[in-house]
Chains A and B, each alone.
Chain A
Amino acid sequence: MENLLAIIIGAIFVNNFILTRFLGLCPFFGVSRKTSSALGMGFAVVFVMTLASMSTWLIYNLVLIPLKVEYLQIVTFILVIATLVQLVELFLKKTNEALYKALGIYLPLITTNCAVLGVAFLNVQENYGFIASTVFGASAGIGFTLALFLMSGIRERLDLAKVPKAFQGVPIAFIIASLMSLAFLAFSGMIR
């Protein structure tokens, strides 16, 4: 139980996916202009990351290891995730119209999101069990959403600020992210 708690705190705060691991930077800079779209993207990522952790764990441990073809993990994982995103999209379209409308446009963007693939590789590298992998996937997604949400709040304010010409657009977003990352550094003492 303590172990799971450590995984949750670690994935959300200490090793935040965006601010310390740099996974998923593209949506972080691309979809962080409005709070509403940041939240939509965040929920879609939590959803897909949890499912991706579960399915890649199952495939790695029940198929790749018994067949002794662990070296195929890169090809397998990316195909599994791409298929998974497609399936989720189809499933939502058929069953839950409201949720599909809310998350639909973000789902295709997630296929090439390195955060989702990163979660699968980290589960293998850290040797997590099934439960731990699922929890890690979900909390990594929550950490991603947290950083994206904070960033979008700041950027909405930034529209009103006077930014020097050379810094307009992406450069100032990097400086903000750097300061946010510095703030998140304070969490690093929470886990041994």
Chain B
Amino acid sequence: MSLKQLVKGLWKENPVFCLVLGLCPTLAVSNALENGLAMGVAATFVLICSSIIISLIAKKIPNEIRIPAYIVVIATFVTIASLFMAALLPELNKALGIYVPLIVVNCIILGRAEAFASRNNIKDSALDALGMGLGFTIALIIISSIREILGTGKIILFGLQTIRLPIEPAMMFILPSGALLVMGLLLSLFSALKQNKKPLKANCCIEEDK
């Protein structure tokens, strides 16, 4: 049972590829593997901590003010993460820029708080958060390695050059337009693999007005 909570975030309900959530950071910081990895780890940390706290306090919060309360909890952990990052990894913090504080409006985190953590016990919530966080991180790793290798011809991780392609790099892939292209192709690949009866729909916090 609990293992199911963990695994579903990786494939069946992958937050990026299947639920199409958390797009802004996914596209913005995936220009290099290192940046994508850092964003994934930071978001996973915030996701796990806030899910645990929210599942603990959810029953005590009046229903009307639950969203502001969740946001304050999330914002607190984002502040912790961004202070840690600024102190320990100043270079990376600079590369990620405003996208670190923007983790606070990442729909994945508020979405899991509202849809899962507020209704389940701590253990399931923590596992669900870990699974979703890993799913998000894996998606970022996939997108950012594709972009880095096609855009620069090599992958640099922790200052070490790991892979080098004998091809002329296409700069477009590390530019914003490359992010959208790679994401579009990956989404269509997922949609073909899962053989969805209905086409993919963006369900990020909002729905199309009728």
The 8 Å CB contact of B205, one of A21, A33, A105, A112, is: A112
Contacts of A39 in B (CB 8 A): none
Q: Chain B contact residues (Cβ within 8 angstroms of A): what range?
A: 35 or more
Chain B hits for A102, CB < 8 A:
none
Interface: B68 (CB within 8 A): yes
Q: Whole-angstrom distance between the alpha carbons of A156 and B180 in the complex?
A: 20
Q: Using known A-B contacts A78-B104, A112-B107, determine if residue A30 contacts B202 with beta carbons closer than 8 Å.
A: yes
Q: Across the interface, do A166 and B191 meet the contact criterion of CB distance under 8 Å? A: yes
B76 neighbours in A (Cβ, 8 Å): 75
A78, A170, A173, A177 — which one has the most chain B CB atoms within 10 A of its CB? A170
Binds A, one of B2-10, B22-30, B153-161: B22-30
A171 to chain B: which residues have CB within 8 Å? 184-185, 187-188, 191, 200
Measured as residues with beta carbon below 8 angstroms from the partner, the interface class of chain A is 35 or more
Bound complex: CA of A49 vs CA of B41, how far in Å? 30
User: Which chain B residues (162-205) contact chain A, with CB distance < 8 Å?
Assistant: 172, 175-181, 183-185, 187-189, 191-192, 199-202, 204-205
B202 pairs with A170, CB closer than 8 A: yes
Q: Which of A125, A165, A167 contacts B98 (CB 8 A)?
A: A125
Q: 6 tightest A-B contacts by CB?
A: A174-B184, A169-B199, A178-B180, A168-B199, A181-B177, A166-B192
Residues on A facing B (Cβ under 8 Å): 19-27, 29-31, 33, 37, 71-75, 78-79, 82, 105, 109, 112-114, 117-118, 121-122, 125, 164-175, 177-179, 181-182, 185
Residues of B in contact with A (beta carbons under 8 Å apart): 20, 23-25, 27-28, 68, 71-72, 75-76, 78-79, 82-83, 97-98, 101-102, 104-107, 110, 172, 175-181, 183-185, 187-189, 191-192, 199-202, 204-209
